[in-house]
Amino acid sequence: MTLNGFFEGLHKDTTWHVHGAEEDNFAIEMLNQKDILLFGRITYELMVNYWTSEFALENDSKIAEEMNNAEKIVFSRTLENVHWKNTRLIKENVVEEVRKIKQSERNMSILGSGEIGTLFANYDMIDEFQIMVDPVLLGNGVPIFSGLNHKVNLKLKETRTFKSGTVLQCYEHQV
């Protein structure tokens, strides 16, 4: 997100979100944990279009391989089916379905997907928040966790600063 709290700019612009090799290595570290990746429809469509593209397979081959092989869930009321390898679609009872997965003790990671993140935060279903703050300010955009319906107390666990100036902030949910 931006320093002033936007996860996308006007007209879904994310061109300000530029990362280098150090952030790529971090992404590989995270993907190697084999969490189930969770997406809303919009993020899913962006991700599947990029990570299955020839460009990604040639230029980001390690991350592309991990993304394409990872177990994924997309939440959408409008999609009829999904075509990305190892992806399943959940159309209804999203909160209940994720609660069932949590009971199986599988780790899950939400990538992007502001509405899904807000939904799960509203139900206190997120144990840890990992937010990458890019060194940029936008005049307008979509704020992260827009629509949150209550205060969520967090405790800082760790930070990590990348050479690009991006800072990873990891917070534990305090119940």
Per-residue pLDDT tens digits for 41-58:
989 999 999 999 999 999
Strand 72-75 to strand 36-40: parallel, antiparallel, or no bridges (unpaired)? parallel
10 within a domain of the structure (yes/no):
no
15 within a domain of the structure (yes/no):
no
5 within a domain of the structure (yes/no):
no
Which two structure tokens, joined as six digits, stand for 142?
A: 């979509």
44 within a domain of the structure (yes/no):
yes
CATH number of the CATH domain containing 71: 3.40.430.10
- For the chain, the domain total comes to 1
11 within a domain of the structure (yes/no):
no
Range of the domain at 143: 20-174
- DSSP letter, residue 35: P
Band the pLDDT of 104: cuts 50, 70, 90.
confident
Q: Could you tell me which residues come within 8 angstroms of residue 67 by beta carbon, excluding any fewer than 6 positions away?
A: 31, 37, 47, 51
12 within a domain of the structure (yes/no):
no
2 within a domain of the structure (yes/no):
no
Q: Could you tell me which residues come within 8 angstroms of residue 112 by beta carbon, excluding any fewer than 6 positions away?
A: 7, 39, 40, 43, 46, 47
Band the pLDDT of 83: cuts 50, 70, 90.
very high
The per-residue pLDDT for 114 is 82
Band the pLDDT of 164: cuts 50, 70, 90.
very high
The per-residue pLDDT for 103 is 87
Specify which residues 108 forms β-bridges with: 36
Q: Across the chain, what does the average pLDDT equal?
A: 92
Band the pLDDT of 34: cuts 50, 70, 90.
confident
38 within a domain of the structure (yes/no):
yes
pTM (predicted TM-score): 0.88
The per-residue pLDDT for 15 is 87
